[in-house]
Chains A and B, each alone.
Chain A
Amino acid sequence: MNLGDWISQPVNWVFTLLALASAYSGVRVVTSQNVIRAALFLVGALASSAGLFLLLSAEFVALTLVLVYIGAVIVLFLFGIMITRAPLGRDVALDHKRRAPAAITSIILFAVLSWASIRAFAGREVTGVGDATDTRLLGEALLGRFVVPFEVVSFLLLAALIGGITLARKDLSPAEEEAREAT
């Protein structure tokens, strides 16, 4: 495919915009000096990946991404930040001294992921699966072919949930319990 063909397709324009937005907000998540701004740039990154899913006419996945990550996970982040501290302006403590190893790790990760996806999809047209937004197909795939990974992931989440509760919760002694009831 030559450059002229590539430019003439509006879908490529949209893809480029979304990819740039995603990359920019991804970088800003790390470089932001304010933890709330960083969380908001994460929203931007997730929103542009939802846009990429829309481009592949996977409306269900796109909206699930918006609903779960933007609507719940990041809101919980913000909630957590705000009940502990809600810094305005710059926060110097957000930076750290291990920039070089972090940069090397992320470059290697980027290279590996790019290599893998180019190997897997280069020269192949990526099309939507069957009907444009076949939620039914997705459900059947999840509970048919991929049922074991699906259950493993939910088991992992359950374990993490219980682990979180046991770490965070402090069981009160009977005396403390009484004192609490009295108030």
Chain B
Amino acid sequence: MDGVDILIVVGRVLAVFVLLLVTTIFNVWLERKTIADMQNRVGPDRAGPFGLLQTVADGLKLFFKEQINPSKVEYGMFVLAPFLAVIPALLLFMVVPFGRPFTIGGREVLLQGADLNVGVLFILAMSSLAVYAVVLAGWSSGSKYPLLGAVRATAQAISYEAAIGLSIVSVVMFSSTRAGGTLSLAGIVESQAGTYLGFLPRWNLFPQVVAFVIFFLAIIAETNRAPFDLVEAEQELVGGFHTEYSGMRFAMYQLAEYMNIFSMSAICATLFLGGWNGPTFDGQIPAWVSAVLPTVWLLIKTYAVIFAFFWIRATMPRLRYDQLMQIGWKRLIPAALVWLILSTVAISVRQFGLPWSA
């Protein structure tokens, strides 16, 4: 490994960070505009063209605001907690391949922060670490409402993580029939190349549709979005776990939430919608266009998922807490387990034949 290789790695990491931050600025605006449209309002339209700079204005405002330290906080933890929210959110996107690897000057450049052999596990680990930010914020605030928000968050995160894990297991099992078994996201994307019957893309969505539905519902809950946003239910909890936070620390929680939405949607697109796979028209159009197209496909798929997030938020009322737990433990997890067994049986019948056909 020489200097150029190290530069390439640094460039990849920077690309991931820049992509995440820019899309976050865009996504906040997109959400406000989408929901405004659905509610027959105009939404932000003053700052910049179409109000695009509204998020920048809000961010700057929060940045210059006073950071209040309430007298009863556990100071160290109180300051640390927002960082614990942002770090896993940044790391989560590191393992998502966001474009086709290309070769430049004899070196292969992966468009991915890091191609871990255990990428799928890394995703689960990072999304389970995110709950610490909420728990510690709630506890260290030394106040009742944040604590209630934190307790809700813990229960919710634990319940829905199980569903996420189980639905990913069936995807990993399924793609092992194509790519020879891999926990790397790049491998899972490659296993979805090509088409069924000549026109239907070989996405995991079609054979694993139940796992997709479970995964999608669970990531909405995992990112604490409506209708699963009991963690920060304003009407019940004042503001939820971040009631005592102000200024930049508060902004960091918002930042982490939107980064998580983007990363989780990108992971959903990668696992189920073929990742960056798509027609690239190699040789028919300029080479650089073919190199950029996979990234464009991934972004289009990711934004389809993100739009569904916003759409659901504008349409669905918030669940009650017992309904949330019922859906998690009595619907999603049993459904994921049954689906896992069914797809395992189907895969092994296809690979090894029926048990009595020796």
Contact = CB atoms under 8 A, between A and B. Distances in A.
A40 to B, nearest CB: 8
B154 interface: yes
B118 A72 contact: no
A93 B302 CA distance: 51
Given A59-B116, A60-B118, A75-B158, A70 B151 contact: no
B128 interface: yes
Contacts of A17: none
A82 B142 CA distance: 12
A59 B117 contact: yes
Contacts of B135: 75, 78-79, 82
A86 B139 contact: yes
B181 A88 contact: no
Contacts of A163: none
Contact of A136 (B72, B132, B157, B181): B181
Contacts of A60: 117-118, 121, 183
B238 interface: no
Interface in A88-102: 88-89
Interface string B142-162: 100001001100110110010
Contact of A63 (B118, B150, B155): B118
Nearest to B162: A72
B125 A63 contact: yes
Contacts, number: 74
Contacts of B122: 63
B129 interface: yes
A162 interface: no
A66 interface: yes
B214 interface: no
Candidate in A43, A75, A76, A88 with the most chain B CB atoms within 10 angstroms: A75
A83 B116 CA distance: 37
Nearest to B80: A40
Contact of B132 (A75, A88, A132, A135): A75
A143 to B, nearest CB: 14
A82 B147 contact: yes
A125 B122 CA distance: 28
A66 B123 CA distance: 11
Given A67-B125, A71-B125, A88-B74, A78 B117 contact: no
A36 B138 CA distance: 12
A53 to B, nearest CB: 12
B118 A79 contact: no
Contact of A78 (B118, B128, B154, B183): B154
B291 interface: no
Contact of A67 (B72, B128, B151, B155): B128
Contact of A71 (B117, B128, B181): B128
Given A36-B139, A70-B129, 16 more contacts: A40-B136, A60-B117, A60-B183, A70-B125, A71-B129, A71-B161, A72-B161, A75-B128, A75-B135, A76-B158, A78-B154, A79-B151, A82-B151, A88-B74, A135-B117, A136-B181
23 contacts: A36-B139, A43-B132, A59-B117, A60-B117, A60-B118, A63-B118, A63-B121, A63-B122, A66-B125, A67-B121, A67-B128, A71-B161, A72-B158, A75-B128, A75-B135, A75-B157, A82-B138, A83-B151, A88-B74, A88-B140, A135-B117, A135-B183, A136-B181
Interface of B: 72, 74, 116-118, 121-122, 124-125, 128-129, 131-132, 135-136, 138-140, 142, 147, 150-151, 154-155, 157-158, 161, 181, 183
3 closest residue pairs by CB, A with B: A71-B128, A63-B121, A79-B154
